[in-house]
């Protein structure tokens, strides 16, 4: 069994990005990312702070925009439109979730698709589904980068994705399909989850249910990718971060498995920097 070390890989990718950023600066372009945070969600605040820190370390210009919980949708849309026109900004990210009075789809569709470093705009979703070049959501892109690093090619594999969010499950499904895996997608209404997961050569789980995947749900020798990050508030793991996979009992059955923390999580920010760099390069063409 090999542990897929996302932490080490994210550091390697960040170093590559730092060097590429230096090259880009020689050509007169400083890649710039704007991150918009609306409200006071503590988890979102942590993520945004971490994104800002990583940008600075990589030499990417970072602009953090904070708005009150009661900010109007109109104000947010106006701010995005200004960033769309701002030549010093190549990537725009609106941290989700947004307060309930704001229409998330409308916000995401207002971001210029060329600056949509989250890959959530329907244009970029369409590009991904039709197998064209696009800005791809950071977490599933990070999963593909981990597989590549360890020489794992999904072609022909039976892949099972558990979770159908627009952020993880659906883009993951499309990336694996584009890589020519046979993909099954499961969700909360799936009748017999185990019947699907236990057949998978490659199992990707992103549902947010701590330790949901047990050994009897995993095929011997499977590759298991755990996208879950759950902060436990009770029991044996109180105060710790755990994944959607019961790592301790499942790991021995796997050929490869990602740990939590230190697996997919660190790759998400590395891919955000990568997408910002891609967007900056696209702006030169």
> Known catalytic residue: 51?
yes
Q: Which is nearer to ligand GUN, 24 or 38 (CB)?
A: 38
280, 115 in Cβ contact below 8 A? Answer: no
- Whether residue 156 is preceded by a cis peptide bond, meaning omega within 30 degrees of 0, is no
Q: How far apart are CA 253 and CA 215, in angstroms?
A: 7
CB of 267 to ligand GUN, least distance (A): 11
d(CA 59, CA 56): 5
- Edge-to-edge strand ranges of the sheet holding 202-205: 2-3, 254-257, 222-226, 202-205, 158-162, 182-186
Residue placing its CB nearer to ligand GUN in the complex, 99 or 215: 99
Q: Is the dihedral of CA 249, 252, 257, 262 positive or negative?
A: positive
Q: Provide the minimum distance between the beta carbon of 219 and ligand GUN in the complex, in angstroms, as a whole number.
A: 29
3-state helix/strand/coil string of 2-50:
EECCHHHHHHHHHHHHHHHHHHHHHCCCCCEEEEEEECCCHHHHHHHHH
What the block records as the tokens of 61 is: 């210009």
In 3-state terms, what secondary structure has residue 223? strand
CB of 102 to ligand GUN, least distance (A): 13
- For the bound state, the minimum distance from the C-beta of residue 118 to ligand GUN, rounded and expressed in Å, comes to 5
Question: Counting contacts by CB under 6 A, is residue 118 touching ligand GUN?
Answer: yes
Would you call 95 a catalytic residue per the annotation? yes
Task: Write down the catalytic residue from 5, 51, 115, 116.
Answer: 51
- Does 37 interact with ligand GUN (rule: CB under 6 A)? no
202 near ligand GUN, judged by CB under 6 A: no
Q: Which of 76, 80, 98, 167 binds ligand GUN (CB under 6 A)?
A: 167
Residue among 83, 138, 144, 229 that touches ligand GUN (CB under 6 A):
138
Q: 5, 116, 118, 201: which one is catalytic?
A: 118
Annotated catalytic, 12?
Answer: no
Tell me whether residue 47 or residue 256 sits nearer to ligand GUN (CB atom).
Answer: 47
Number of Cβ atoms within 10 Å of the Cβ of 177:
18
**162 forms bridges with which residues in the sheet?**
186, 205
By CB under 6 A, the count of residues binding ligand GUN is 8
**Nearest approach, Cβ of 262 to ligand GUN (angstroms)?**
18
Q: How far is the CB of 259 from ligand GUN (least distance, A)?
A: 19
Identify which of residues 127 and 139 has a Cβ nearer to ligand GUN in the complex: 139
The residues, any chain, with a CB within 8 Å of residue 221's CB and separated by 6 or more, are 253, 254, 255
HSE-CB of 130 using CA atoms within 13 angstroms? 9
Q: Report the residue number, 154 or 171, with the smaller CB distance to ligand GUN.
A: 171
Distances (CA, A) of 95 to 65, 119, 161: 10, 13, 24
Tell me which residues in 85-104 interact with ligand GUN (CB under 6 A): 93-96
Q: Which is nearer to ligand GUN, 45 or 182 (CB)?
A: 45
What is the contact surface with ligand GUN in residues (CB under 6 A)?
Answer: 93-96, 118, 138-139, 167
Known catalytic residues are: 51, 95, 118
């Amino acid at each position: 069994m090999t542990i897929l070390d996302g932490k080490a890989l994210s550091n390697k990718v960040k170093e590559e990005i730092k060097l590429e950023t230096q090259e880009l600066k020689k050509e007169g372009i400083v890649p710039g990312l704007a991150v918009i945070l609306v409200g006071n969600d503590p988890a979102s605040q942590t993520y945004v702070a971490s994104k800002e820190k990583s940008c600075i370390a990589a030499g990417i210009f970072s602009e953090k925009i904070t708005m009150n919980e009661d900010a109007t949708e109109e104000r947010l849309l106006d701010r995005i439109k200004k960033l769309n026109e701002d030549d010093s900004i190549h990537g725009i990210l609106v941290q989700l979730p947004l307060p309930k009075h704001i229409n998330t789809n409308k916000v995401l569709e207002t971001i210029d698709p060329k600056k949509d470093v989250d890959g959530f705009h329907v244009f970029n979703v369409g590009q991904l589904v039709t197998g064209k070049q696009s800005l791809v959501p950071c977490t599933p892109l990070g999963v593909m980068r981990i597989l590549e690093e360890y020489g794992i090619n999904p072609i022909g594999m039976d892949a099972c994705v558990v979770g159908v969010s627009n952020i993880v499950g659906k883009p993951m499904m499309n990336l694996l399909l584009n890589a020519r895996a046979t993909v099954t997608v499961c969700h909360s209404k799936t009748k017999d989850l185990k019947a699907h997961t236990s057949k998978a050569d490659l199992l990707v789980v992103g549902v947010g249910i701590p330790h949901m995947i047990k050994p009897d749900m995993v095929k011997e020798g499977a590759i298991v990718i755990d996208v879950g990050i759950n902060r436990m508030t009770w029991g044996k793991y109180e105060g710790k971060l755990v994944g959607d996979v019961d790592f301790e009992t499942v790991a021995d059955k796997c050929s490869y498995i990602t740990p939590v923390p230190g697996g997919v999580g660190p790759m998400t920010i590395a891919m955000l920097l990568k997408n910002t760099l891609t967007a900056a390069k696209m702006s030169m063409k």
